[in-house]
Structure 1
Amino acid sequence: MEKHLTTNYKEACFLVDLSNVVRRQDLGEPGLRSLRRLGLVVDAAVELARDPDLKLYLVADRSLRLGGRHEFTDPADVRLLGQWVRRGLVEELGDADERVLELWAMIGIPVITGDRYRGAREDYPFLQGNTDDFLEPVPGPGGTVRLVPLDMGVARPDEISRKSEEDALKKQGLLGPRRKPRSEVVDRNWRCPDRRCTTYDTRKGSRVLLPRMHRGVPTCEQHGLELVDDGPRTATAQVKLLVGGKVTARFTLEDGSTVRIGRAPGTGDIALHDLLPGDLAARVSRAHAELRVAGGMVRARDVSSFGTRWRATAGRSGPGPWHELPKDASRDFRVGDELELTEGVVLARSGRRFPAELSQEWQRRTPPSGEGSDAVTRMY
């Protein structure tokens, strides 16, 4: 098996998402993790390529080796994996997904994985509908493995949001059992003991990042210090602006807030004028929709001259039909729902449950409204 591994990705015939392969319990022997599954994948790759000297480039999450060594069927697998890492036969990172996709985009060789990378669809839009560049290992006859083309499908915006959140939590070590967020950490504010550090401080910084778990303790990535619990995190809701189907901005709203969104609604509200082409901006009212956040729930109301349409997109059968948003009453704006201000301009309720930025940073930096002013700060 080792003769088929290379330290140089330029020599490889395939990239391998090793963490995904090793954890595939439907392949080979039973157990949570097994390096023998890689051997079956190597055999399948050699057969598919008809090349007895085929080379594979392996990329793995650091947690595969260090975070679950007790889950390996054979303890010798952990030692062997460690040797490969030291010799450069496995590129080991905190988050392998980003590196796998970076190499795939850069050199264009097929990737062996079962991951659909739904959380990466915004950064790598050519994943949507891709049927050519990914191969999934599946069980074959007699305990063998076959490599079959993997249809990446087209992920809905709400699916992308939820998976992006999960990926961010995973990267910071904040996914607990059954891939549930560690709410005891995510739902709290944190502060670094170093007074110069504003990375996690909601009162000083312009961004609030998630803590990094190190040996079970929330830790500052910049200073390596144990973070101080700074009280409960204020409930928030995130809204995305899609122009022509592409996400161009995000806005995080605090619990208890009421904001109007439109072309130039006024001080303290969300202005879209500088985010829209002139022809689209002209079809959006100065104040178009009103969002009210209370108890983590969002309600929307039409306040426009042109009308606003609403639909749910999270149903099993795909997006539902468009309905007129009422003017005289508000309605629930749930995760996955969309508001169409005009054709090509949509507000979507994100599935993200934690703020990537300070909730009110866009508000603090919004000058008085005006058609030509920089009336909104983009939040990414």
Structure 2
Amino acid sequence: MRFTLSSALDMIERRLTTDAMLAQGVVDLGEVVRYVDIDGGRSTSLLRIGMVVDALGRYLVDAGAVLYPVAGRALLSEAAFTSKERMVLGRWADDGIIEIVPDVADRTVEVADLTGLPVITVRDLDRYASRYAWLRECPDRVLRLRPRGGEAVLLPNDEDIAPVTVPVVVGKAAVKPEPVAPEPAVPAEAAEGTEAAEAAEAPEGTEAAEAPEPAAESVEGTEDAAEAAESLEDPEAPETPEPAADSAEATAEPSAPQLPGAIVTFFPRGAMRVSTTQIGRQRPVRSGPSGVGQSLLRNLWRCAEPDCSAFGEYRMIGQPVPAMASGIPSCPRHGGPLREAGRRPPAYAMALVVDDLPRRRFVVAEGEPVTVGRVPPGDNDIGLSGWLHEAAAQWVSAEHLRLNVRDGALIVVDDSRNGTMIWKRSSRGDPGRAFRITHDEHPMGAWDSIEVYTGVELIVAGRRGTAVTGVLKPELFRDLRSVLVDAPTVALRRPETSR
């Protein structure tokens, strides 16, 4: 059990960060670990943060979704934690992957305001609306954490949301019914014999019931189908003449293709084909940072405490968000004012997308190049071996390409034996054009993507175009592997008591 608990906490650790560039949501860690209703388990459990990570991944359809956790200092000595949980929480605090503050209060809302991140919460945040007007003006930026069916879900503004994909009627067309072959004629003698037999079987005093007319089927919930039924049933409605086979219009326009999965609804005088498509609801992902936040995030900051895990000299994992105490940038952990240490080097948040699903996020900064390949050498490089089948592994080089930032631009450098495909796009809906570079470099545009192999690509995070994503496919959700797959089930279940 200790091994499985450690494995689950290690999986959760990989999805936590205080780097404002990588994070995709901010949450009060203490509020989550004490939220018993989410799993009906112990009074306090560190594994519940994993349930929030899973919920954010499902909400964003992102297998590498990353949380920005904020915790009060008192949580580090919470007696209800196991010794293992206290040790892990202390390590997270020392490594700077969770932010420690004297009291959480409105800190999560402040981080959301300065960065544009959505805030994940259990409690009501209306008390802070006088200071942060967007809590009322943009309520979708508040994601309510709620239990459902043994797992956690995130609801924008506490409003239930429809499934990610729903069938929606998008078109209709009258369809000429297929001709019905006439039934074979029945000899008069046989018909008379049949009628006599039926009359003999019927009880006295009853007459043979007339056959009911066929009833028209309808499409429930679609007004268009009902209107079409009325027009088809109207005997005075003029029929649309079919175009002549030899007309110029008929020869110029090809026949319309039939969409797969079309619904055919039959009426007494004809039929109507109602085509459906799968669409996804637009979900709020991230807003722009406030004006103050833009200024703060452009600079590097240093705490007076050299060993500070948030703004110390030895921090190596990006930079968290300074707190604004009376308008002065301050260290959220120690409370003292921060010293400005120059401009932050230009950097890009990147996402690795495999089979249409984002799998991992990472940062490429000026002076800190990142190598991507089958088995790159560095600890901060991106290895692809876990996502490559045999043919792909033979195609992708061990050190396939490098990403670096030069003069503020993102540059891709090919180091492979087979080259790297670049997709150039000018906007979100641009289908793009592709070309290959071999032992060469190329500056990346905002909507460009890098195809390492078919189905394996690199994009600027949040810049995946609609021309690429198309429709959300249900199979994507099956690939969203839970970070709690190795968690001991006893830790997530309320123990039964004898009566």
Using the size of structure 2 for normalisation, the TM-score is 0.38
> Which has the greater radius of gyration?
2
